Amino acid sequence: MSLKHAILGFLSFAPFSGYDLKKAFDNSVQHFWPANQSQIYRTLAELDEQGFVKKEIVERDERLDMKIYSITKAGRSELHQWLTSPLPERDEREPFLIQVYFSGLLTDEEVLNLFNQKLKETEERLAVYETVYQMIQNTPPSIEDKRAIFFSILTLEAGYINTQSIAEWLESAIARIKNKKYKINIGNS
């Protein structure tokens, strides 16, 4: 996914300043697509050059002028084209799995330390998903479109289910290593 399209997606809901876009990222998609302030501002400048957004400068007496961005017709067209196009296959590299693959070179104690640390990180990520979900449940949505809300929360659901699956796999692997039952659990095995 490109940051460019994520920004266009947010701007399709409402005009935003760069600062407000950062808050929108942090309060909605951060669990799978974090963005820092400088990336957002740099991308907004590129989108402006490409004619996908227009910028309105709001003068303020005691502070710097504020730039408010809104999506243009060309920006909506670009977003629609991207949303309806298949994405290229992504790189599926997972450094932890390389560690697992070669863990036969370690003692069981060393492997258990590795797996327990990964399980702790995974449980922390699950807690973040649960916190985001509770925040969503307790905050009235700023978007009126229930269908749009449904699709945005599907991303949280996918992250939670995938992370929960990894936690279950780690717990199973830890138990098998502790019990020295080096049996694989794929399909009907």
Separation of alpha carbons 142 and 24, rounded Å: 11
Q: Is the pLDDT of residue 189 over 90?
A: no
pLDDT at residue 114, as a whole number: 97
- How confident is the prediction for the chain on average, in pLDDT? 90
Confidence of residue 143 (pLDDT cuts 50, 70, 90): low
Q: Tokens 């400048």 belong to which residue?
A: 45
Give the model's confidence band at 188: pLDDT under 50 very low, under 70 low, under 90 confident, else very high.
low
How far is it, in rounded angstroms, from Cα 49 to Cα 47?
5
Confidence (pLDDT) at 141: 61
What value does the mean pLDDT take over residues 43-68?
92
Copy the structure tokens of residue 154.
């599907």
**pLDDT exceeds cutoff 80 at 187:** no
Q: How confident is the model at residue 173 (pLDDT cuts 50, 70, 90)?
A: very high
- The conformation of residue 103, written as its DSSP 8-state character, comes to G
Q: What is the spatial distance between Cα 158 and Cα 102, in angstroms, rounded to a whole number?
A: 29
Task: Count the neighbouring beta carbons within 10 Å of the beta carbon of residue 38.
Answer: 10
3-state secondary structure of 33: coil
Question: Please, what is the angle between helix 18-26 and helix 3-13, to 10°?
Answer: 100
Q: At what angle do helices 146-178 and 108-138 cross, to 10 degrees?
A: 160
Alpha-carbon distance of 100 to 84, in angstroms, equals 37
Question: Which strand ranges, in their side-by-side order, compose the sheet holding 16-17?
Answer: 16-17, 66-71, 53-58
% of the chain residues with pLDDT over 90: 62
Per-residue pLDDT averaged across 114-120, rounded?
98
pLDDT surpassing 60 at residue 42: yes
pLDDT tens per residue across span 23-40: 988 888 887 888 999 999
Region 85-99: what's the mean pLDDT?
Answer: 88
DSSP code of residue 87: P
